[in-house]
Structure 1
């Protein structure tokens, strides 16, 4: 079996300008860094350039500090914001959940088997139902009940726990609460939500039953970043499956949950692999 070393990851964005690709790739070659994978995109609407590179240093004395000192003058010339991610970095991902366990189960399985290169330091819920699942994985579980009156206090507790456990990313794995504008501001750009996507749009209680009543022909899911627009943040991934007249409401729910699982997994994977760039209200996603 061929053993492939995990790469360093370089990501950057800047205003569109002649020579953006060259300034990065030329530096990589001059610094003795072998490029394994490269993606770039120039958005003609926003006039911004995005690039992601996986590379293997050929110099055993390679250091991130030296890389930064040598590349920064070139980045400054292009107004470039850039980041370097170490191969061994494992993002700390906090999970928020309510009662539905399909997404949480899937993420914990992928974490346990190494499919998701993350640490899960804490699980937070407004219900006690999934505590045993968290304990089986030896992950701290916090039950924080919420009412309309206690919502500000409960959300403040969540933010304190995220800080306490040094969470880099927050995943709403079917956390069935509408976040306040204050909470959305706290999590802006560092929280991913998953929800069903049914056409036509069925909102409120029992959406799959509503869809069945209308003879829906496809179910889907959308994973997006959290912002103050309810379920309308910048989209990372979407999934879809066709269904037909033989699917009863329970079948639609089961199929929808399958799509939610894989859609959320891909969104988290793209995020932690630095494949997602925020581009105003949209995203640039360099899928693998």
Structure 2
């Protein structure tokens, strides 16, 4: 007889609705009456907007098979009384992720390491790039690599091919892991809430060529990175995660760049983890993030 104990299936409810008394009870009392055990719970009320958010991870207290259809039907009857919009996810939570990249490989390498070791519970059906440089890295991981060059004239055609790959893969998420191209307005709208971008956040801000050299010339003391959902406004989408670290006079441009790469990797992986674990609510131009 096997000594391996079966892993109990877990489930996640995420929901939001206008704030009113009883919103937490809608979820927790229902789960209690159904015989479920709550592993983790987060809730938040935006008092300015009078809007309520909740995320609950739960499991069955018995080995009874989970009847998803019955659960959803019964919960909807309760949730509809509160105008609650909700989603249910069940383990294993393995999101399909398409990664887009140009020549800088640090974020891609970090994501591939976390994917390979199981730190990020994802599948990567495709890597898309406008350059051929990182194809061998993709091949080493056994991941299809699509080299799709782009120019101003071919942008619509190239983006159509990119979007077709995303659809064919059934991707839940697109990660722009230092993809050094601005997505068109049409593409940004298609990927709304499903594409995460990463960029440096030097303080004060420096744009254009050689930002770390500009930062060095100004003697900056903070280096950071921002991960956000893609929007029609360049680098202005809803922020998911930000990290910052102090630097000093001893950091030359190459040191600042190295520090920046490390922070970008960490910030991006945190944002991806929050997304695939259903910890993010889009809330207008902002996000509500129930980080673990």
Q: What range is the shorter-chain TM-score in?
A: over 0.9
Distance apart, 1:195 and its partner CA: 0.2
Q: Quick one: distance in 2 between partners of 1:67 and 1:6?
A: 15
Q: Quick one: distance in 2 between partners of 1:198 and 1:7?
A: 40
2:143 counterpart (139, 142, 164): 139
2:256: which partner in 1?
Answer: 252
1:63 aligns with 2:54: no
Distance apart, 1:47 and its partner CA: 1.5
Q: Quick one: distance in 2 between partners of 1:69 and 1:168?
A: 25
1:205: which partner in 2?
Answer: 209
Distance apart, 1:218 and its partner CA: 1.0
2:239 counterpart (232, 235, 244): 235
SS of the counterpart of 2:95?
coil
1:49 aligns with 2:52: yes
SS of the counterpart of 2:125?
coil
1:286 aligns with 2:290: yes
Distance apart, 1:7 and its partner CA: 2.3
SS of the counterpart of 2:201?
strand
Flag the 1:198–1:20 CA change in 2: closer, same or farther, 3 A. Answer: same
1:162 aligns with 2:173: no
Q: Quick one: distance in 2 between partners of 1:50 and 1:163?
A: 30
1:225 aligns with 2:213: no
Q: Quick one: distance in 2 between partners of 1:235 and 1:193?
A: 10
Distance apart, 1:98 and its partner CA: 0.2
1:20: which partner in 2?
Answer: 23
1:33 counterpart (32, 36, 44): 36
2:154: which partner in 1?
Answer: 150
Consecutive aligned runs of 4 or more in structure 1 exceeding 6 Å deviation? none
Contact 2:94-2:123 at 8 Å conserved across structures: yes
2:123: which partner in 1?
Answer: 119
Distance apart, 1:88 and its partner CA: 1.2
| Count of paired positions | 287
RMSD value, Cα: 1.2
Q: Quick one: distance in 1 between partners of 2:166 and 2:105?
A: 21
2:191: which partner in 1?
Answer: 187
1:102-141 deviation per Cα after TM superposition (whole angstroms, max 9, x unaligned): 0000000000000000000000000000000000000000
Distance apart, 1:221 and its partner CA: 0.2
1:11 aligns with 2:14: yes
Residue ranges of structure 1 left out of the alignment (5+ in a row): none
SS of the counterpart of 1:92?
strand
Q: Quick one: distance in 2 between partners of 1:76 and 1:17?
A: 13
Residue ranges of structure 2 left out of the alignment (5+ in a row): none
